[in-house]
Structure 1
């Protein structure tokens, strides 16, 4: 793998940032369709590469006119129903040398406050759906100077995104030239900590991940690449947008996970490539009828965000025998970098996550960081130019995760005799529910605040469609009766809805190790056959 900076830049076509990448495509193919995305007013915006640059630069000027400067952190609290405004803000940040901070639009008040404060967010872009939560946190978000509201409504305590855009002066700007090591985004990542950590993503990571994932998906200039992944996720920004733009393809952003609407859009846009979580493909198989939709343009479908069940792979191949059914494995801190299992290898290596994609090195190591042999389980570690720069304001976690240029994933896996990766388990105590990562300690910390709860252990249990769902195992004070609905209501303003457990079990005593730690492995074994109703 090349590590020399000049060699890497040359290999990447001279691109050193998202700004140079998009501008480069605009010069080569100005009239090529670059993006299809919903705006906050309900319209579907269709932008060419030249329009992508012009409108992104225009909103960069708008941000500068309200005081944004190079290096400032700009938060984006939007979902895909405002994907156009979210993506234009992302581009404005890269053109203006600012740092984009996507924030999960499903976060509760406390989570939004944590994200805004941790990331030193000066300006926050939000929509009507999240405005009340933003208003609730403003008195405590001392660093937050301006809130910009997307959509047609104007309020006294916010600035209007549309008005700022329309009034921005189209004048010559001495645009900053950011280097490979300068930070492009701060992406929040869930783990075992009580709160999400803020991953620093450099321009080097932008270009490397764009190149690597475009290769993993075999994207070409004529590709039409579609996904429902929410804007605030790594999967949307770095697995859909950047790879599409690296090769000059078209990125299609679904406004929400509506299978029938997605199928209709696939037919209408002549989609060639689709990426979703395994749960999406379960829903797709339930709804799809060959006579109802013309998907003859579709060539590749990929599952990421969670492990693909072997039976689901078989069903997809049976239903779509001409399709290349792929699976990818990676994580936010990797950029992502990781592995891909392509369709022609899927049945021969069922259950595998594949082999490393371009510019990615992968090893399996023991607890001392030494390589283990084939077919032996150890921790998965990766190295790539796309790997993140560290955690913002968290040097200890950075030292634990980044060691001598290698990213320690916290996932357990093994390599078979042919070099295919099999992900065995997650070393970090995380549940992946429908492709969304949930740090269980964060959920437990909220449950512990509920009157009468003495201890809480949150685990993942099998779910026939989501892959995993949450189960909260509780011990309670004497005489206390637990009302699940009351607990859910208690959590509603403290946790995003997908983090709130739907099932609760009360036991008399937690299983413990000799050190007194709760043995979640015992709980998982006890409840491993428990399925939460869909």
Structure 2
């Protein structure tokens, strides 16, 4: 399969082929771009509007077609232009749950040449104040929960920025008191009277399309400047990685003399489920974008609940589920997995955190026709850096896949010197999907991006086939008596125990060794396990110094940030206080 994969890669990127590339210089940095790349994300929506009566967005029991969405987007875009003067170089902030209005606002904003500031819906009042002051938007589009949070700080913000507010899902008879000058969505968005076209806009490929804030688990969030070029190339990288896997599978089947996979029915609509927040690239760039360009349906939920997700997968015929690994694990372990019809699922996986090898196997064996997939990426790369799926993923379950074609990759040591691929070093990438920089943070930008190379902060190795293995976060490593212990290795071993539902490994301060290994564990319903049992289980697979010396078995789910990643620092501080 590896040989067929390489053949398919070369075939799809050959001169004149669908994914042929050329080299250009952007901001003084050489990079490869796809020759067929459109100039802006506005083009994506203008193309998608032609899907007309197909379902586009499903939120719980609400449903919008592409035509209905197109009218809403045009109406909002004209309101933003005519009433607030929003255009190229401006910013509009969006703060809400994964409501359909998030999707409509996003396309309206970026089609005007403005940048959509995706605000973390979990932010407190002070954090919202920080994000709005940092990004300085002309307009804030927010739901009732975020309206309540921004209220106490809005007057102070308006001392330097006459910020206007559009309130979403705040009915006239509701209990939410709107800020001065705020208008309700339904009073300014009228799809029945929408103009036939979007307002004109002058958009450069390297203009900001959106500002997404990094998770902020290690300090104040930084606003990553995602461009139209970067977003387009992430979208095309996703399409390429899907296409190359499919072509490789067909070549492998032909070589084995078996029937190749049946071609996809062009009339059959794919259905994506987006269980993670749209204010991160996982859901927005890696699910919403490909769903939109392909005329697919995207299913949103009010909040994550495994039982509700399985219900919607059955009801809507979901074909592609991509959340953080804990979500996939929760669905597979849920009793409703055995009773709900999930046969439409062709892809089950996710990103945002490593997919443990045992979970890859569980997905592969879950049911016929469902294959595992993963992607490794960052906000700073607009989405994916690598992707792995299907038979290749089963063959290399610890790998997040090969680097996408428009990125160069290298490994460096702590001094910045190159490390051979077979060694271990910090992964750096350079190419069209690397962000322009961090908003208002020249020093942080210069530290993270050097000569076009973005330092991911992830420790990795690359095998002889070009497959990347993320060993750990550079700052998520236990240093025990001079020995480096990679947390993900210990977590992978722990997850092999069938009693474990969640596990987070971290360093615990120790007077003698500096740090020792600690772990917080949540057991599966009805399961039992103690310190001695886990140590006995781990003894055959982990060196003694890697086996956790401190263990906490918790009765509640481990704390996560809004993107589903475990908050290890918070765990460590609360458990070791």
- The alignment's TM-score, normalised by the length of structure 2, stands at 0.72
Equivalents in 1 of 2:318, 2:340: separation in Å? 12
Provide closer, same or farther for how the CA distance between residues 246 and 23 of structure 1 changes in structure 2, counting only shifts above 3 A. Answer: same
Equivalents in 1 of 2:148, 2:352: separation in Å? 30
Mapped pair 1:468 → 2:492: no
Is the 8 Å Cα contact of residues 310 and 336 (structure 2) preserved in structure 1? no
Select between 204-213 and 185-194 the one with higher mean Cα deviation.
185-194
Is the 8 Å Cα contact of residues 363 and 372 (structure 2) preserved in structure 1? yes
Is the 8 Å Cα contact of residues 186 and 199 (structure 1) preserved in structure 2? yes
Is the 8 Å Cα contact of residues 56 and 95 (structure 1) preserved in structure 2? no
Residue aligning to 2:65: 47
Residue aligning to 1:77: 95
Mapped pair 1:379 → 2:422: no
Residue aligning to 1:161: 185
Unaligned stretches of 5+ residues in structure 2: 1-20, 27-31, 247-263, 479-493, 520-545, 558-577
Equivalents in 2 of 1:161, 1:79: separation in Å? 15
Which of 210, 229, 238 does residue 204 from structure 1 map onto?
229
Distance apart, 1:209 and its partner CA: 1.2
Equivalents in 2 of 1:168, 1:121: separation in Å? 28
Residue aligning to 1:302: 349
Distance apart, 1:127 and its partner CA: 1.6
After superposition, what is the alpha-carbon deviation per residue over 1:330-387, rounded to whole angstroms, capped at 9, x for unaligned?
1110112311121202332131112123423322222344432233110111223122
Which of 71, 82, 93 does residue 109 from structure 2 map onto?
93
Mapped pair 1:138 → 2:154: yes
Equivalents in 2 of 1:9, 1:56: separation in Å? 28
Which of 432, 438, 458 does residue 411 from structure 1 map onto?
458
Provide closer, same or farther for how the CA distance between residues 9 and 289 of structure 1 changes in structure 2, counting only shifts above 3 A. Answer: same
Residue aligning to 1:245: 292
Which of 223, 232, 236 does residue 283 from structure 2 map onto?
236
Residue aligning to 1:2: 22
Distance apart, 1:90 and its partner CA: 0.7
RMSD: 3.1
After superposition, what is the alpha-carbon deviation per residue over 1:461-487, rounded to whole angstroms, capped at 9, x for unaligned?
x8944443889x7xxxxxxxxxxxxxx
After superposition, what is the alpha-carbon deviation per residue over 1:133-169, rounded to whole angstroms, capped at 9, x for unaligned?
1111213223252222111424452311111113996
Equivalents in 1 of 2:477, 2:83: separation in Å? 40
Equivalents in 2 of 1:512, 1:73: separation in Å? 52
SS in structure 2 of the partner of residue 4 of structure 1: strand
Which of 20, 30, 35 does residue 57 from structure 2 map onto?
35
Is the 8 Å Cα contact of residues 188 and 199 (structure 1) preserved in structure 2? yes
Mapped pair 1:66 → 2:88: no
Residue aligning to 1:481: none
After superposition, what is the alpha-carbon deviation per residue over 1:273-318, rounded to whole angstroms, capped at 9, x for unaligned?
1101111112101225565222222111122111112222222222
Is the 8 Å Cα contact of residues 59 and 168 (structure 1) preserved in structure 2? no
Unaligned stretches of 5+ residues in structure 1: 432-461, 474-506, 514-518
Is the 8 Å Cα contact of residues 188 and 196 (structure 1) preserved in structure 2? yes
Equivalents in 1 of 2:371, 2:209: separation in Å? 33
Distance apart, 1:429 and its partner CA: 5.2
Alignment of 1:498-509 (within 5 A): none
SS in structure 2 of the partner of residue 2 of structure 1: strand
SS in structure 1 of the partner of residue 84 of structure 2: coil
Is the 8 Å Cα contact of residues 302 and 327 (structure 1) preserved in structure 2? yes
Select between 344-353 and 152-161 the one with higher mean Cα deviation.
152-161
Distance apart, 1:3 and its partner CA: 3.0
Select between 408-417 and 316-325 the one with higher mean Cα deviation.
316-325
Residue aligning to 2:141: 125
- The alignment's TM-score, normalised by the length of structure 1, stands at 0.77
Equivalents in 1 of 2:314, 2:117: separation in Å? 33
Mapped pair 1:188 → 2:216: no
SS in structure 2 of the partner of residue 393 of structure 1: coil
Is the 8 Å Cα contact of residues 426 and 456 (structure 2) preserved in structure 1? yes
Equivalents in 1 of 2:143, 2:110: separation in Å? 22
SS in structure 1 of the partner of residue 155 of structure 2: coil
Equivalents in 2 of 1:123, 1:256: separation in Å? 26
Alignment of 1:389-408 (within 5 A): 389-408=436-455
Equivalents in 2 of 1:122, 1:174: separation in Å? 17
Residue aligning to 1:274: 321
